[in-house]
Structure 1
Amino acid sequence: MYVCGISVSSGLPLTPVADTCRSARHALSLIATARPKAFITTIAREVHRQTVQAANAQSPPPVHPPGLARARAEILRVLDVLVEKMPGDMAELLVEVMDIIMYCLDPSVLKKKGLQECFPCICRFATVSYCNNSHRIAVEARAGRLALYDIRTGKSQTIQGHKGPITALAFAPDGRYLATFSEPEHRLAFWQVSLKTIQECVPVRGRPRAYTCGVHFLQETGHCQILHLPVACPYAMDGLITCVLNESRAET
Protein backbone atom coordinates (compact mmCIF):
# COMPACT_ATOMS: atom_id res chain seq x y z
CA MET A 1 0.00 0.00 0.00
CA TYR A 2 1.33 3.42 -0.86
CA VAL A 3 -0.54 6.72 -0.61
CA CYS A 4 1.09 9.55 -2.52
CA GLY A 5 2.44 12.44 -0.54
CA ILE A 6 1.98 15.05 -3.27
CA SER A 7 0.25 18.28 -2.31
CA VAL A 8 -3.01 18.84 -4.15
CA SER A 9 -3.77 22.30 -2.81
CA SER A 10 -1.62 24.26 -5.28
CA GLY A 11 -4.49 24.88 -7.68
CA LEU A 12 -6.82 23.45 -10.27
CA PRO A 13 -6.98 21.64 -12.56
CA LEU A 14 -5.11 18.79 -10.92
CA THR A 15 -2.56 16.76 -12.78
CA PRO A 16 -3.45 13.09 -13.28
CA VAL A 17 -0.91 12.08 -10.62
CA ALA A 18 -2.22 14.61 -8.09
CA ASP A 19 -5.81 13.59 -8.78
CA THR A 20 -4.92 9.93 -8.22
CA CYS A 21 -3.20 10.81 -4.95
CA ARG A 22 -6.22 12.75 -3.74
CA SER A 23 -8.54 9.88 -4.61
CA ALA A 24 -6.25 7.40 -2.83
CA ARG A 25 -6.16 9.51 0.34
CA HIS A 26 -9.94 9.82 0.33
CA ALA A 27 -10.40 6.09 -0.26
CA LEU A 28 -7.99 5.23 2.54
CA SER A 29 -9.88 7.45 4.98
CA LEU A 30 -13.20 5.88 3.98
CA ILE A 31 -11.85 2.35 4.43
CA ALA A 32 -10.32 3.19 7.81
CA THR A 33 -13.44 4.83 9.24
CA ALA A 34 -15.75 2.13 7.83
CA ARG A 35 -13.72 -0.77 9.26
CA PRO A 36 -11.27 0.66 11.79
CA LYS A 37 -10.28 -2.65 13.39
CA ALA A 38 -9.61 -4.30 10.04
CA PHE A 39 -7.55 -1.30 8.96
CA ILE A 40 -5.44 -1.30 12.14
CA THR A 41 -4.79 -5.06 12.15
CA THR A 42 -3.89 -5.05 8.44
CA ILE A 43 -1.39 -2.19 8.79
CA ALA A 44 0.03 -3.71 11.98
CA ARG A 45 0.64 -7.04 10.22
CA GLU A 46 2.44 -5.27 7.40
CA VAL A 47 4.52 -3.30 9.91
CA HIS A 48 5.50 -6.54 11.62
CA ARG A 49 6.34 -8.21 8.30
CA GLN A 50 8.55 -5.37 7.15
CA THR A 51 10.22 -5.03 10.55
CA VAL A 52 11.13 -8.73 10.59
CA GLN A 53 12.26 -8.57 6.99
CA ALA A 54 14.53 -5.58 7.70
CA ALA A 55 16.00 -7.25 10.79
CA ASN A 56 16.86 -10.42 8.85
CA ALA A 57 18.12 -8.67 5.72
CA GLN A 58 21.61 -9.72 4.62
CA SER A 59 22.06 -6.87 2.14
CA PRO A 60 22.00 -3.05 2.56
CA PRO A 61 18.55 -1.42 2.65
CA PRO A 62 17.11 -0.50 -0.76
CA VAL A 63 17.57 3.00 -2.13
CA HIS A 64 13.82 3.42 -2.43
CA PRO A 65 11.96 2.52 0.79
CA PRO A 66 8.90 0.24 0.64
CA GLY A 67 5.49 1.74 0.03
CA LEU A 68 4.44 1.53 3.67
CA ALA A 69 7.46 3.57 4.74
CA ARG A 70 6.69 6.26 2.16
CA ALA A 71 3.12 6.51 3.47
CA ARG A 72 4.07 7.11 7.12
CA ALA A 73 2.72 10.65 7.31
CA GLU A 74 -0.59 9.62 5.76
CA ILE A 75 -0.95 6.63 8.09
CA LEU A 76 -0.39 8.87 11.12
CA ARG A 77 -3.02 11.28 9.81
CA VAL A 78 -5.57 8.48 9.53
CA LEU A 79 -4.64 7.15 12.99
CA ASP A 80 -5.20 10.59 14.46
CA VAL A 81 -8.68 10.69 12.92
CA LEU A 82 -9.53 7.21 14.22
CA VAL A 83 -8.38 7.95 17.77
CA GLU A 84 -10.44 11.14 17.84
CA LYS A 85 -13.57 9.69 16.24
CA MET A 86 -13.46 6.05 17.42
CA PRO A 87 -11.54 5.89 20.70
CA GLY A 88 -13.44 2.80 21.85
CA ASP A 89 -12.32 0.75 18.86
CA MET A 90 -8.75 2.01 19.20
CA ALA A 91 -8.67 1.19 22.93
CA GLU A 92 -9.19 -2.48 22.05
CA LEU A 93 -6.15 -2.47 19.74
CA LEU A 94 -3.69 -0.23 21.56
CA VAL A 95 -0.69 -2.51 21.04
CA GLU A 96 -1.31 -2.69 17.29
CA VAL A 97 -1.84 1.08 17.20
CA MET A 98 1.39 1.67 19.13
CA ASP A 99 3.30 -0.72 16.83
CA ILE A 100 2.19 1.41 13.88
CA ILE A 101 3.05 4.67 15.64
CA MET A 102 6.52 3.42 16.55
CA TYR A 103 7.08 2.42 12.91
CA CYS A 104 5.87 5.74 11.50
CA LEU A 105 7.57 8.17 13.89
CA ASP A 106 11.24 9.08 13.66
CA PRO A 107 12.89 7.54 16.78
CA SER A 108 15.32 10.45 17.17
CA VAL A 109 12.50 13.00 17.06
CA LEU A 110 10.38 10.90 19.42
CA LYS A 111 13.26 10.65 21.88
CA LYS A 112 13.89 14.38 21.73
CA LYS A 113 10.31 15.68 21.86
CA GLY A 114 8.40 12.85 23.56
CA LEU A 115 5.19 11.05 22.69
CA GLN A 116 2.95 13.84 24.00
CA GLU A 117 4.34 16.26 21.41
CA CYS A 118 4.86 13.86 18.51
CA PHE A 119 1.48 12.12 18.66
CA PRO A 120 -0.59 13.69 21.46
CA CYS A 121 -3.92 12.01 20.72
CA ILE A 122 -2.69 8.57 21.85
CA CYS A 123 -1.87 9.99 25.29
CA ARG A 124 -5.57 10.50 25.98
CA PHE A 125 -5.82 6.83 26.99
CA ALA A 126 -5.25 5.98 30.65
CA THR A 127 -3.63 2.73 29.52
CA VAL A 128 -0.78 4.51 27.68
CA SER A 129 2.12 6.15 29.49
CA TYR A 130 5.40 7.67 28.30
CA CYS A 131 8.46 8.38 30.45
CA ASN A 132 10.67 11.24 29.29
CA ASN A 133 13.60 10.13 31.45
CA SER A 134 13.83 6.48 30.41
CA HIS A 135 12.33 6.96 26.91
CA ARG A 136 9.96 4.06 27.45
CA ILE A 137 6.31 3.62 26.57
CA ALA A 138 3.93 1.34 28.47
CA VAL A 139 0.69 0.12 26.89
CA GLU A 140 -2.07 -2.19 28.10
CA ALA A 141 -1.99 -5.30 25.93
CA ARG A 142 -5.28 -7.07 26.72
CA ALA A 143 -5.87 -10.00 29.08
CA GLY A 144 -3.87 -8.33 31.86
CA ARG A 145 -0.68 -8.10 29.81
CA LEU A 146 1.63 -5.12 29.57
CA ALA A 147 3.67 -4.03 26.53
CA LEU A 148 6.87 -2.05 27.10
CA TYR A 149 8.55 -0.16 24.25
CA ASP A 150 12.13 1.09 24.48
CA ILE A 151 12.63 3.98 22.07
CA ARG A 152 16.42 3.84 22.39
CA THR A 153 16.65 0.26 21.12
CA GLY A 154 13.46 0.15 19.05
CA LYS A 155 12.47 -3.09 20.78
CA SER A 156 9.36 -4.09 22.70
CA GLN A 157 8.32 -6.93 24.97
CA THR A 158 5.09 -8.14 26.52
CA ILE A 159 4.79 -9.34 30.11
CA GLN A 160 1.91 -10.61 32.21
CA GLY A 161 0.78 -7.97 34.66
CA HIS A 162 -2.66 -8.85 36.04
CA LYS A 163 -5.18 -11.64 35.84
CA GLY A 164 -7.82 -9.13 34.75
CA PRO A 165 -7.68 -6.25 32.27
CA ILE A 166 -5.40 -3.32 33.11
CA THR A 167 -7.53 -0.22 33.64
CA ALA A 168 -4.79 2.39 34.00
CA LEU A 169 -1.03 2.71 34.20
CA ALA A 170 1.66 5.37 34.65
CA PHE A 171 5.41 5.72 35.02
CA ALA A 172 6.99 7.35 38.03
CA PRO A 173 8.69 10.65 37.08
CA ASP A 174 12.17 9.09 37.23
CA GLY A 175 11.09 6.08 35.15
CA ARG A 176 12.25 3.47 37.65
CA TYR A 177 8.75 2.38 38.63
CA LEU A 178 5.53 1.76 36.78
CA ALA A 179 2.12 1.56 38.42
CA THR A 180 -0.63 -0.57 36.89
CA PHE A 181 -4.20 -0.80 38.13
CA SER A 182 -6.79 -3.47 37.36
CA GLU A 183 -10.29 -2.44 38.31
CA PRO A 184 -11.78 -5.98 37.96
CA GLU A 185 -9.06 -7.28 40.30
CA HIS A 186 -9.17 -4.25 42.62
CA ARG A 187 -5.38 -4.41 42.63
CA LEU A 188 -2.63 -1.85 42.18
CA ALA A 189 0.84 -3.12 41.24
CA PHE A 190 4.18 -1.29 41.40
CA TRP A 191 6.73 -2.56 38.88
CA GLN A 192 10.48 -2.14 38.99
CA VAL A 193 10.91 -1.37 35.31
CA SER A 194 14.54 -2.47 34.92
CA LEU A 195 13.77 -5.94 36.31
CA LYS A 196 10.25 -6.24 34.81
CA THR A 197 9.07 -7.52 38.20
CA ILE A 198 6.33 -6.47 40.61
CA GLN A 199 7.74 -4.95 43.78
CA GLU A 200 4.51 -4.21 45.64
CA CYS A 201 0.84 -5.15 45.26
CA VAL A 202 -1.91 -3.16 46.91
CA PRO A 203 -5.51 -4.35 47.21
CA VAL A 204 -8.00 -1.57 46.45
CA ARG A 205 -11.07 -1.68 48.66
CA GLY A 206 -14.47 -0.75 47.33
CA ARG A 207 -15.68 -0.33 43.78
CA PRO A 208 -15.46 3.14 42.25
CA ARG A 209 -18.65 4.24 40.58
CA ALA A 210 -16.95 5.93 37.64
CA TYR A 211 -13.38 5.60 36.48
CA THR A 212 -11.77 8.70 35.04
CA CYS A 213 -8.17 9.70 34.37
CA GLY A 214 -6.19 6.76 35.64
CA VAL A 215 -2.97 6.48 37.60
CA HIS A 216 -0.80 9.52 38.21
CA PHE A 217 2.46 9.79 40.08
CA LEU A 218 2.70 12.94 42.16
CA GLN A 219 6.28 14.09 41.84
CA GLU A 220 6.19 16.45 44.79
CA THR A 221 5.04 13.77 47.26
CA GLY A 222 6.29 10.54 45.69
CA HIS A 223 2.79 9.06 45.96
CA CYS A 224 0.92 7.24 43.26
CA GLN A 225 -2.65 8.47 42.97
CA ILE A 226 -5.55 6.62 41.38
CA LEU A 227 -8.25 9.08 40.49
CA HIS A 228 -11.90 8.11 40.27
CA LEU A 229 -15.15 9.95 40.35
CA PRO A 230 -16.02 10.58 43.10
CA VAL A 231 -13.16 8.66 44.79
CA ALA A 232 -9.47 9.52 45.03
CA CYS A 233 -7.07 7.01 46.60
CA PRO A 234 -3.43 8.09 47.07
CA TYR A 235 -0.97 5.29 47.86
CA ALA A 236 2.59 5.45 49.11
CA MET A 237 5.37 3.53 47.37
CA ASP A 238 5.64 1.17 50.35
CA GLY A 239 2.13 -0.06 49.59
CA LEU A 240 0.45 1.68 52.53
CA ILE A 241 -2.75 3.60 51.92
CA THR A 242 -2.25 7.19 53.05
CA CYS A 243 -5.85 8.30 52.66
CA VAL A 244 -9.07 7.53 50.87
CA LEU A 245 -11.27 10.45 49.89
CA ASN A 246 -14.94 9.96 49.08
CA GLU A 247 -17.51 12.55 48.14
CA SER A 248 -19.02 12.44 51.64
CA ARG A 249 -16.14 11.55 53.98
CA ALA A 250 -12.37 11.36 54.35
CA GLU A 251 -10.42 8.56 56.00
CA THR A 252 -6.75 8.73 57.01
Structure 2
Amino acid sequence: MSAPGKILVLITGANSGIGLELTRQLMAKGTYHVFLCSRTPEKGAAALKGLQAANLSGTAEAITLDVTDDATINAAFQSIQQSHGRLDILVNNAAVAIVPGENSVRERMQKAFDTNATGPAVITQTFGPLLHKSQTTPRIINVSSGIGSIQRRFNKESPFYRYYDLEYRASKCALSMVTANQYAQYADSELGAKVFAYDPGFTVSNLGPQNNKSSGARDVSESVRPLVDVLEGKRDGENGKFLHNTGVYEW
Protein backbone atom coordinates (compact mmCIF):
# COMPACT_ATOMS: atom_id res chain seq x y z
CA MET A 1 0.00 0.00 0.00
CA SER A 2 1.55 3.31 -1.04
CA ALA A 3 0.97 6.47 0.99
CA PRO A 4 2.38 9.41 -0.99
CA GLY A 5 2.57 12.65 0.93
CA LYS A 6 1.57 11.12 4.24
CA ILE A 7 3.52 10.97 7.48
CA LEU A 8 4.53 7.35 8.08
CA VAL A 9 4.15 6.13 11.67
CA LEU A 10 5.06 2.71 13.04
CA ILE A 11 3.38 1.75 16.33
CA THR A 12 4.23 -1.48 18.13
CA GLY A 13 1.54 -3.17 20.19
CA ALA A 14 -1.09 -1.32 18.17
CA ASN A 15 -3.90 -3.87 18.14
CA SER A 16 -5.27 -2.83 21.54
CA GLY A 17 -5.14 -0.23 24.30
CA ILE A 18 -2.98 2.86 23.87
CA GLY A 19 -1.51 1.67 20.56
CA LEU A 20 -4.91 1.09 18.99
CA GLU A 21 -6.30 4.40 20.23
CA LEU A 22 -3.22 6.26 19.00
CA THR A 23 -3.73 4.66 15.59
CA ARG A 24 -7.38 5.72 15.63
CA GLN A 25 -6.62 9.33 16.55
CA LEU A 26 -3.92 9.62 13.90
CA MET A 27 -6.16 8.10 11.23
CA ALA A 28 -8.87 10.59 12.15
CA LYS A 29 -6.54 13.40 11.10
CA GLY A 30 -6.05 12.06 7.58
CA THR A 31 -2.42 13.11 7.19
CA TYR A 32 -0.92 9.90 8.59
CA HIS A 33 -0.35 6.39 7.36
CA VAL A 34 0.07 4.01 10.29
CA PHE A 35 1.85 0.68 10.39
CA LEU A 36 -0.34 -1.09 12.93
CA CYS A 37 1.96 -3.69 14.46
CA SER A 38 0.78 -6.73 16.39
CA ARG A 39 2.24 -10.07 17.38
CA THR A 40 -0.09 -12.13 15.18
CA PRO A 41 -1.70 -11.54 11.78
CA GLU A 42 -5.12 -12.32 13.24
CA LYS A 43 -4.93 -9.62 15.91
CA GLY A 44 -3.68 -7.07 13.43
CA ALA A 45 -6.36 -7.86 10.87
CA ALA A 46 -9.13 -7.63 13.48
CA ALA A 47 -7.89 -4.27 14.75
CA LEU A 48 -7.52 -2.86 11.24
CA LYS A 49 -11.00 -4.04 10.27
CA GLY A 50 -12.51 -2.20 13.23
CA LEU A 51 -10.70 1.02 12.34
CA GLN A 52 -11.66 0.84 8.68
CA ALA A 53 -15.30 0.34 9.65
CA ALA A 54 -15.18 3.78 11.31
CA ASN A 55 -14.51 5.41 7.90
CA LEU A 56 -11.58 7.47 9.16
CA SER A 57 -9.83 9.70 6.64
CA GLY A 58 -6.33 8.39 7.33
CA THR A 59 -4.87 5.05 6.28
CA ALA A 60 -3.21 2.11 7.99
CA GLU A 61 -1.90 -1.34 7.26
CA ALA A 62 -1.43 -4.29 9.57
CA ILE A 63 2.13 -5.50 10.11
CA THR A 64 3.05 -8.66 12.02
CA LEU A 65 5.79 -7.68 14.45
CA ASP A 66 6.61 -9.26 17.80
CA VAL A 67 9.19 -7.10 19.60
CA THR A 68 10.74 -10.24 21.14
CA ASP A 69 11.10 -12.06 17.80
CA ASP A 70 13.90 -10.89 15.51
CA ALA A 71 12.52 -12.78 12.53
CA THR A 72 9.26 -10.80 12.58
CA ILE A 73 11.14 -7.55 13.22
CA ASN A 74 13.41 -8.08 10.22
CA ALA A 75 10.50 -9.17 8.02
CA ALA A 76 8.57 -6.02 8.97
CA PHE A 77 11.60 -3.87 8.16
CA GLN A 78 12.02 -5.49 4.75
CA SER A 79 8.33 -5.07 3.96
CA ILE A 80 8.24 -1.37 4.86
CA GLN A 81 11.57 -0.68 3.17
CA GLN A 82 10.35 -2.23 -0.08
CA SER A 83 6.89 -0.65 -0.07
CA HIS A 84 7.65 2.81 1.36
CA GLY A 85 11.41 3.27 1.68
CA ARG A 86 11.21 5.50 4.74
CA LEU A 87 9.75 6.01 8.20
CA ASP A 88 8.93 9.32 9.88
CA ILE A 89 7.80 8.42 13.39
CA LEU A 90 8.50 5.36 15.53
CA VAL A 91 6.37 4.70 18.61
CA ASN A 92 7.71 1.91 20.81
CA ASN A 93 4.47 1.15 22.62
CA ALA A 94 4.38 -2.63 23.13
CA ALA A 95 4.76 -3.55 26.79
CA VAL A 96 4.12 -6.35 29.22
CA ALA A 97 3.32 -6.41 32.93
CA ILE A 98 4.33 -9.54 34.81
CA VAL A 99 1.92 -11.36 37.12
CA PRO A 100 3.55 -11.53 40.60
CA GLY A 101 4.42 -15.06 41.62
CA GLU A 102 4.50 -16.47 38.11
CA ASN A 103 7.68 -18.46 37.48
CA SER A 104 10.96 -17.40 39.10
CA VAL A 105 12.23 -13.87 39.67
CA ARG A 106 14.85 -14.45 36.97
CA GLU A 107 12.24 -15.57 34.43
CA ARG A 108 9.94 -12.66 35.25
CA MET A 109 12.78 -10.15 34.95
CA GLN A 110 13.92 -11.60 31.63
CA LYS A 111 10.40 -11.50 30.21
CA ALA A 112 9.82 -7.90 31.30
CA PHE A 113 13.17 -6.65 30.01
CA ASP A 114 12.84 -8.49 26.70
CA THR A 115 9.62 -6.68 25.83
CA ASN A 116 9.87 -3.38 27.70
CA ALA A 117 13.55 -2.45 27.22
CA THR A 118 15.34 -4.75 24.80
CA GLY A 119 12.40 -4.64 22.37
CA PRO A 120 12.48 -0.85 21.87
CA ALA A 121 16.27 -0.94 21.56
CA VAL A 122 16.17 -3.59 18.83
CA ILE A 123 13.23 -2.02 17.00
CA THR A 124 14.86 1.41 16.89
CA GLN A 125 18.21 0.04 15.78
CA THR A 126 16.54 -2.00 13.04
CA PHE A 127 14.35 0.80 11.69
CA GLY A 128 17.01 3.50 12.11
CA PRO A 129 17.98 3.40 8.41
CA LEU A 130 14.37 4.19 7.44
CA LEU A 131 14.23 7.08 9.92
CA HIS A 132 17.30 8.46 8.15
CA LYS A 133 15.20 8.54 4.96
CA SER A 134 12.41 10.56 6.60
CA GLN A 135 11.11 13.52 4.62
CA THR A 136 10.43 15.45 7.82
CA THR A 137 11.94 15.63 11.32
CA PRO A 138 12.04 11.99 12.46
CA ARG A 139 10.67 11.16 15.90
CA ILE A 140 11.17 8.31 18.34
CA ILE A 141 8.71 8.00 21.23
CA ASN A 142 9.17 5.30 23.84
CA VAL A 143 5.96 4.78 25.79
CA SER A 144 7.07 4.41 29.38
CA SER A 145 5.71 4.77 32.91
CA GLY A 146 6.35 7.15 35.77
CA ILE A 147 6.88 4.22 38.09
CA GLY A 148 10.13 3.62 36.22
CA SER A 149 11.54 6.89 37.58
CA ILE A 150 14.21 6.33 40.23
CA GLN A 151 13.60 9.75 41.80
CA ARG A 152 9.86 9.17 42.07
CA ARG A 153 10.45 5.75 43.63
CA PHE A 154 11.55 7.47 46.84
CA ASN A 155 8.39 9.59 47.06
CA LYS A 156 6.39 8.07 49.92
CA GLU A 157 3.43 10.30 49.07
CA SER A 158 3.00 8.62 45.71
CA PRO A 159 -0.09 6.39 45.43
CA PHE A 160 2.20 3.85 43.77
CA TYR A 161 4.81 3.79 46.54
CA ARG A 162 3.57 0.39 47.77
CA TYR A 163 3.37 -0.96 44.24
CA TYR A 164 6.23 -3.44 44.36
CA ASP A 165 6.28 -4.70 40.78
CA LEU A 166 10.06 -4.94 40.51
CA GLU A 167 10.05 -6.42 37.01
CA TYR A 168 7.90 -3.69 35.46
CA ARG A 169 9.61 -0.86 37.37
CA ALA A 170 13.12 -2.05 36.54
CA SER A 171 12.38 -2.67 32.87
CA LYS A 172 10.83 0.78 32.44
CA CYS A 173 13.80 2.30 34.26
CA ALA A 174 16.04 0.52 31.75
CA LEU A 175 13.93 2.02 28.97
CA SER A 176 14.95 5.44 30.27
CA MET A 177 18.60 4.65 29.54
CA VAL A 178 17.61 3.25 26.15
CA THR A 179 15.89 6.58 25.47
CA ALA A 180 18.88 8.62 26.66
CA ASN A 181 21.19 6.59 24.44
CA GLN A 182 18.85 7.01 21.47
CA TYR A 183 18.90 10.76 22.08
CA ALA A 184 22.69 10.77 21.79
CA GLN A 185 22.58 8.57 18.69
CA TYR A 186 19.64 10.02 16.77
CA ALA A 187 18.91 13.49 18.17
CA ASP A 188 22.29 14.91 19.13
CA SER A 189 23.63 14.03 15.69
CA GLU A 190 23.30 15.10 12.07
CA LEU A 191 19.95 13.28 11.84
CA GLY A 192 18.43 15.75 14.32
CA ALA A 193 15.62 13.45 15.42
CA LYS A 194 13.31 14.20 18.32
CA VAL A 195 13.51 11.50 21.00
CA PHE A 196 11.25 11.18 24.03
CA ALA A 197 10.15 8.84 26.77
CA TYR A 198 6.45 9.43 27.41
CA ASP A 199 4.21 8.32 30.26
CA PRO A 200 0.53 8.35 29.22
CA GLY A 201 -0.54 7.88 32.83
CA PHE A 202 -2.63 5.21 34.52
CA THR A 203 -4.87 4.12 31.67
CA VAL A 204 -7.62 1.61 31.04
CA SER A 205 -5.95 -1.20 29.09
CA ASN A 206 -5.25 -4.92 29.05
CA LEU A 207 -1.78 -4.39 30.55
CA GLY A 208 -2.92 -5.73 33.91
CA PRO A 209 -6.05 -6.48 35.98
CA GLN A 210 -5.65 -3.18 37.85
CA ASN A 211 -5.90 -1.09 34.67
CA ASN A 212 -9.62 -0.39 34.92
CA LYS A 213 -11.87 2.56 35.71
CA SER A 214 -12.80 1.24 39.15
CA SER A 215 -9.11 1.48 40.09
CA GLY A 216 -8.92 5.07 38.87
CA ALA A 217 -7.48 4.46 35.40
CA ARG A 218 -8.24 7.12 32.80
CA ASP A 219 -10.06 6.46 29.57
CA VAL A 220 -7.61 5.61 26.81
CA SER A 221 -8.78 8.42 24.52
CA GLU A 222 -7.99 10.96 27.24
CA SER A 223 -4.52 9.50 27.79
CA VAL A 224 -3.63 9.43 24.10
CA ARG A 225 -4.56 13.01 23.15
CA PRO A 226 -1.44 14.55 24.80
CA LEU A 227 0.68 11.85 23.16
CA VAL A 228 -0.53 13.02 19.76
CA ASP A 229 0.80 16.47 20.65
CA VAL A 230 4.26 14.93 21.07
CA LEU A 231 4.04 13.29 17.66
CA GLU A 232 2.98 16.58 16.09
CA GLY A 233 5.95 18.52 17.45
CA LYS A 234 4.13 20.58 20.07
CA ARG A 235 6.63 19.53 22.75
CA ASP A 236 9.83 19.64 20.73
CA GLY A 237 11.30 22.08 23.23
CA GLU A 238 11.52 19.14 25.64
CA ASN A 239 13.50 16.91 23.30
CA GLY A 240 15.38 14.19 25.16
CA LYS A 241 13.12 14.36 28.22
CA PHE A 242 10.85 11.98 30.13
CA LEU A 243 7.45 13.54 29.46
CA HIS A 244 4.00 13.10 30.91
CA ASN A 245 0.77 14.79 29.90
CA THR A 246 1.43 18.06 31.74
CA GLY A 247 5.16 18.18 32.38
CA VAL A 248 8.47 16.36 32.74
CA TYR A 249 9.53 13.63 35.17
CA GLU A 250 12.96 13.28 36.70
CA TRP A 251 14.72 10.19 35.41
TM-score under structure 1 length normalisation: 0.30
Pick the structure with greater CA Rg.
1
Identify, as 1 or 2, the structure richer in strand.
1
Specify which structure has the higher proportion of helix: 2
Greater relative contact order structure (CA < 8 Å, 6+ sep)? 2
